[in-house]
């Protein structure tokens, strides 16, 4: 039973346009969310995070939005660049966790076309 879901396995976007990656979760106790980026043959690397006390966090071209009532978060990349082509995972942790136990989605493969 997946508590974190990424329903789009892939997304293709033109260079310079916005990429929007979506993630839904079922556990209302989740209070901390992250996005990881993964290139082939490499481990995931941390991209951006958001705490449940916020609804938006921005870091350069990357912005994460959190809608707690809808149990939905999204990652916006503007403008998208070919180097952004990778698999993106969202992850969530609940309030009871006093360590870094995260629940991961299945990932969305982003392809940014030049």
Which residues contribute to the site for other proteins (CB under 8 A)?
2, 4, 6, 9, 32, 36, 41-46, 89, 91, 93, 97-107
Least distance in Å: CB of 36 to other proteins?
Answer: 8
Tokens 């039973």 appear where? 1
The residue among 90 and 112 lying less far from other proteins, judged by its C-beta, is 90
The residue among 13 and 90 lying less far from other proteins, judged by its C-beta, is 90
- What's 111's DSSP letter? E
The residue among 79 and 97 lying less far from other proteins, judged by its C-beta, is 97
C-alpha dist (Å) from residue 107 to 23, 47, 62, 89, 104: 9, 14, 17, 4, 8
Q: Is 16 left (phi over 0), alpha (psi -120 to 50) or beta?
A: left
Least distance in Å: CB of 103 to other proteins?
Answer: 8
The residue among 13 and 30 lying less far from other proteins, judged by its C-beta, is 30
Least distance in Å: CB of 11 to other proteins?
Answer: 16
Q: Which two three-digit tokens encode residue 88? A: 């993106």
The answer to whether the CB of 74 falls within 8 A of the CB of 8 is no
Under DSSP, is residue 83 helix (H, G, I), strand (E, B) or coil? Answer: helix
Least distance in Å: CB of 74 to other proteins?
Answer: 17
């Amino acid at each position: 039973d997946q508590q974190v879901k990424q329903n789009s396995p892939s997304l293709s976007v033109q260079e310079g346009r916005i990429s929007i990656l979506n993630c839904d979760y079922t556990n209302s106790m989740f209070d901390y969310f992250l996005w990881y980026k993964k290139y082939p043959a490499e481990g995931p690397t941390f991209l951006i995070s958001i705490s449940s006390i916020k609804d938006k966090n921005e870091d350069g071209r990357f912005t994460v939005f959190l809608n707690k009532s809808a149990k939905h978060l999204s990652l916006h990349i503007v403008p998208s660049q070919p180097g952004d082509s990778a698999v993106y995972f969202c992850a969530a942790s609940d309030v009871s966790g006093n360590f870094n136990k995260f629940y991961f989605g299945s990932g969305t493969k982003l392809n940014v076309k030049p």
